[in-house]
Chain A
Amino acid sequence: MFSCSNKYTWLAAALIAFASPLAAQETALDPANSVKVDLPSDSPLELISKSLGDSRATSRGGAIVLDLHMGLTLRNAGSKHVRGVTLLVTAQEFAPGGKGSVARPSIDVAPGQTFTLPVDIRLVRPVQQTSGPLVHVQLDGVLFDDLTFFGPNKLNSQRALTFWEVEAQRDRAYFKQSLQARGESGLGEEMRKSIARQADRPQLDVSLTRNGRASGSAVPSTDRPVQFAFLNLPDSPVQPLEGWAAISGNEARSPQIEIINHSGKPVKYVEIGWLVKDKQGQEYVAGSVPTSESTMLLPSGQRTRLLQDTALKFSHTGRAIEIEGMTGYVSQVEFADGHVWVPSRHDLDSSPLLRVTAPSPEEQRLADIYSKKGVAALAAELARY
C-alpha cells in the first residue's frame, strides 16, 4: 500500500517521465533533404561543394525553427571572367512568401577559379509534413566582364549586377586617376576621406509594409502630403518634375514621382533616390522609388509617374524619426538597349550625395583593402583592372 506522500512522489515521477520526451528537440539538418541547390545544366558556374556548417532545425511547440548557415563553393566553368553572381533563395511553402537573393558583386573570377557564397537564413514556420526541401537555392544570374549575362533573371539580377559593375568601373577610374595625379599619398588621402564618410554617414532603420499603415507607428495618424524637393544632376537622362508622399510623423506612404525622359533614347527603368530630413535638419537616405511597371518603356521626351503602394516607417537607433522634408534625385537609369546610367563622381561630389548616400560596393571593397593592407596593395589591386 502507498502512503499519501508516496502517491504524490510516484505521480510526480510519472508525469516527469511522460513530459520529458516532449521537450524541444534540436537536430542537425540532413543536407540531402533540407536544401536543394539548382544550377541550370548549361550554367557557367559549377557547384563544387555545399557546406551546412552548424545549421540546425529545432522544433518549438507548433513551429520549426531552421537556422541555415550554408557556404556554396562555385567554380567558373566558363571562358569569361565573372564580375557578379546572384542566387535566388526561396523558403518552400512559407505563408508570406519567403523569397530573397544573395549577390556577390565586384568580383573578378577567372575561368577555372572558385569562390564561396554564404547563405545565412532563419526560417520560422508551422511544423507540417513536406515532401520537398525547406529551402531552394537557384542561380538567377551571372554577369561577365564584357557585361553579357547568363541566367533566368527572375529577380532582374541583370540590371542590378550591371549597375554595380558600372558603378565599380566609375569608382576604379576615379581612384586610378587620383593615383596617377597625386601618387600613393593622394590615393591614401582619398581612401581616408571615403572611410570617414562611411563612418559618419547616419543610417536609418526602415520597416516596410504593403498598402496601408506601417505597424507600430509611433505618432498620431495625421497624414499630410509632403512634396519632394529634387536635386537635379546635370548629366541625368531623366528629370524628376514633381512628387509627394503621405507623411504621418515617422511614416511615409504611397510615394509618387513624375519624371520626363530628356535623353534621345527610350528608357525602361528609373530609380529615384529618396532622402528624408528630420526636425533637426539631419538628412538620411530613406531608400529608393523605382519604376512601378516592369514593362515600362518611356520614349524620348515623354513623361510618366512612378507609384509605389507601400508604407515605410523610419527610426534611428530605436528612436522614431519625424519627417520634416524629402529630397529625390535620379540614382539609376536603364535604357531600352540595356545600357545604364549612374551619377558621375563629379555629380556626387558637387552635391550632398557623396556625404549622405552609401558608397558603391566597389568603393567599400577598395576601402577595406586600404585599411587592412595599405596603399601599396590598393594600388596593385587597381592596376589589375
Chain B
Amino acid sequence: MKHPGEYNLALLAGGEAGAFHRFRLDRHVRNCEDCQEKVAEFQALRKHLSDTEFPEVNWNSLAAEMRANIHVGLEAGACVRDTHVAKNWSPQFALAFASLVVLVGAGFFLTDGRLHRMTVSETAAPVLQPTASGIELRKGTDSFAFLDDKEVRTDQSVNAQGAIEARYINDETGSVTITNVLLQQ
C-alpha cells in the first residue's frame, strides 16, 4: 500500500489540507492504522504546542493591542471607501472563471522553470546551510541536500574550506553515520 507522506499527514492533522486533498487522505487514513497513528501523533504535537505558555510574553495584552490597531485601521478604511457588493452572481460564470485560473496556474507552473529561474540561478551564489530536514546546498531554486530521515542528527560542524559535516546516530542500531556536503566553485 502506498502511504501519504508525513508532510501531507501533518496537513491533514492540522485541518490545513485542501478539500479534495483531504478527501483522498481521509479515505486512506480510515483504512490504515499506521497513518492513523501518525495523524494522532501530529494532532497530539499540535495540542502540546498550542498548550505551551511562554511566560515572558503577555499574550492578552498583545492581542488587545492588535485588536485595537485593527479596529482603528478598519474605521479609517471605512471613512475613505465605499463597499460595492456584486448583486448578480452566476455559479456557471464562477465555475468557468475558476477553471480558467486553474489552467493559467497550471500553465505557469508547468512551463520549463529554467526560463523563470535563469536570472536567479546565475546570479545567486551557492549557499551551504543546515535546515530542519538536513544539510542543503542551494543555488537559486536548485538544491541538493542530505536528509536526516530516520536518524537523529547529533552534531554538525563547518569546515571553512567549504563543507558542512553532520553526524547521526541510528536509534535502532546505535551506529554512527557522518555525511558531508561540499560547497563547490
Contact = CB atoms under 8 A, between A and B. Distances in A.
A126 B117 contact: yes
B43 interface: no
Nearest to B172: A372
Given A12-B92, A63-B113, A104-B176, A124 B141 contact: yes
B99 A11 contact: yes
A106 B103 CA distance: 55
Contacts of A15: 96, 99-100, 102-103
Interface in B63-80: none
B142 A203 contact: no
Contacts of B112: 62, 126-127
Interface residues of B, number: 74
Contact of A9 (B92, B115, B117, B136): B92
A44 to B, nearest CB: 19
A22 B99 CA distance: 13
A69 interface: yes
B110 A61 contact: yes
A241 interface: no
Contacts of B157: 285, 287-288, 358
A19 interface: yes
A214 B141 CA distance: 17
Output the residue of A61, A106, A214, A310 with the most chain B CB within 10 A: A61
Contacts of A208: 127-129, 158, 160, 162, 164, 183
Interface in A58-75: 60-63, 67, 69
Given A61-B113, A364-B167, A105 B178 contact: yes
A308 B161 contact: yes
Given A19-B99, A97-B185, A308-B161, A126 B114 contact: yes
B161 A292 contact: yes
Interface string A198-211: 10000101111111
A214 B176 CA distance: 31
Given A19-B106, A101-B179, A126-B112, A96 B93 contact: no
B52 interface: no
Interface stretch (A31-39, A113-121, A182-190, A228-236): A113-121
B130 A205 contact: yes
Interface string B113-124: 111110001001
B158 to A, nearest CB: 3
A121 B145 contact: yes
B160 A290 contact: yes
Interface string B83-107: 0000000101101101110110011
Interface residues of A, number: 81
Interface string A6-28: 00110110011011001110000
Interface string B138-166: 11111111111111001111111110100
Nearest to A372: B174
A120 to B, nearest CB: 4
A117 B137 CA distance: 22
A22 B93 CA distance: 23
A215 interface: yes
15 contacts: A9-B92, A12-B95, A16-B99, A91-B144, A98-B137, A120-B147, A122-B147, A123-B144, A124-B144, A206-B129, A206-B130, A207-B129, A208-B162, A310-B160, A364-B176
Interface of A: 5, 8-9, 11-12, 15-16, 18-19, 22-24, 54, 60-63, 67, 69, 89, 91, 94-107, 115, 117-118, 120-128, 155, 164, 198, 203, 205-212, 214-215, 255, 274, 285-290, 292, 308, 310, 312, 358, 361-362, 364-365, 368-369, 372
Given A103-B178, A104-B178, A362-B176, 13 more contacts: A97-B185, A100-B179, A100-B181, A107-B175, A115-B175, A120-B134, A122-B136, A210-B125, A215-B127, A287-B160, A288-B160, A358-B155, A364-B169
List 3 tightest A-B contacts by C-beta distance, closest first: A62-B113, A98-B144, A287-B158
